[in-house]
Chain A
């Protein structure tokens, strides 16, 4: 059974619909203490980073504890940003901090008409390796079955930098982390539940990981 965490940041209808279509068993825990009884956790969310203040305290502690004992965690959009240490969008609200790095505002490029928010379908690329090396193919369990250049649906103004945990990057004036993976922690900046087949494949991959645990 997967826990779909509802902390009031946006609407979970679409995520529920996608999980149902893929045959996943899930429920929304009503208290933080329940988190430990689930086999995997999903933190969705859209909107302002300040909304994650709803997770500060017992939820943050319970989710952190579950992750440390090996429970798979999947953050979507704002939920992915929350995996990091914090965000410039709400500097006083701490993230979960299981991934090093800080979420920053995208700059766009007015001259090239690259607007912020970054709204629409953009491609996933393998992140560049160490200086001078060619980009490598997708690695990571969460991207299984996805082709380099697959398009997914984004809508956001803030993003995480490309760090060692980045398994797919996207470029919109600058290059940011679109997909992260570190052990049993996964995150996507876009909306897999709104990204047609490519998105469903990513959710399917997370369900596979959860079943294997």
Chain B
């Protein structure tokens, strides 16, 4: 049976892992290669590296970081943050990424989804959606959550799928870094609207939150950062907890 995936995300700045709250107040969380090695031993299913500065100088640093992580683990590795062109994606793939995650660039230039899916296959293209609740809907934001994209998350996820995206990485901006639980309603709304896997992100604080997003939220995978970085919760402990609740995981 296909298992629910647990994904560790590392927000990287200047070659170091950092983590903020609701996209602000960054603090250091460690060395990417070292963290990746620890996660692999604990049984993480996938790793995401997000370049949160995405400046020209950070591009070269990012390639070194991807390399350092890819040397430590034999797991699917996704790279995102500032991937704006086919060349940016190619640089990430050449450095060792298996998938690239597009956010702002996908909204500005949806053709890029199709281009990259054609070149690397849909399985290599993740469209990341940052959204917050507004009324009955979920408003999409771009530029690291600073700019309203005037799109609804459900409608945009459907379009991304039709353009060739292989997965959706859905982050609740309301919950990001708060440890108050995933936004299960938003996750379910998107997961029920598309036929590609949905990765839930934002708000993981306890073991129960993962169980909820896999059941009530219909998520195919769940992503977290800070609870794994600071070793509050080990991946193996989380997986044992999920298995006890009849949620299929790789142990």
Contact = CB atoms under 8 A, between A and B. Distances in A.
B207 to A, nearest CB: 19
A46 B124 contact: yes
Contacts of A18: 74
Contacts of A10: 120-121, 124
Interface string A97-119: 00000000000101001111111
A11 B250 contact: no
Nearest to A8: B119
B74 A196 contact: yes
A122 B167 contact: no
B231 interface: no
B1 A120 contact: no
A108 B197 CA distance: 13
Interface stretch (B8-16, B92-100, B140-148): B92-100
Contacts of B123: 46-47, 117, 119, 155-156
Given A115-B195, A115-B220, A11 B94 contact: yes
A148 B167 CA distance: 29
A151 B221 CA distance: 16
A37 B227 CA distance: 52
Interface residues of B, number: 32
Contact of A122 (B3, B73, B94, B196): B3
A210 interface: no
Contacts, number: 90
B74 A194 contact: yes
Contacts of A47: 120-121, 123
A153 B75 contact: yes
A155 B166 CA distance: 10
Contacts of A194: 74-76, 98
Contact of B76 (A115, A122, A153): A153
Contacts of A113: 218
A14 B47 CA distance: 14
Contact of A114 (B2, B93, B221): B2
A119 B197 contact: yes
Nearest to B122: A117
Given A113-B218, A117-B196, A122-B1, A13 B94 contact: yes
A141 interface: no
A11 B97 CA distance: 9
A109 B197 CA distance: 14
A121 B250 contact: yes
Given A46-B121, A47-B121, A113-B218, A11 B75 contact: no
Interface of A: 10-11, 13-14, 17-18, 21, 46-48, 108, 110, 113-123, 151, 153, 155-156, 171-172, 191, 193-196, 199-200
Interface of B: 1-5, 40, 45, 70-71, 73-76, 93-96, 98, 120-124, 166-167, 195-197, 218, 220-221, 250
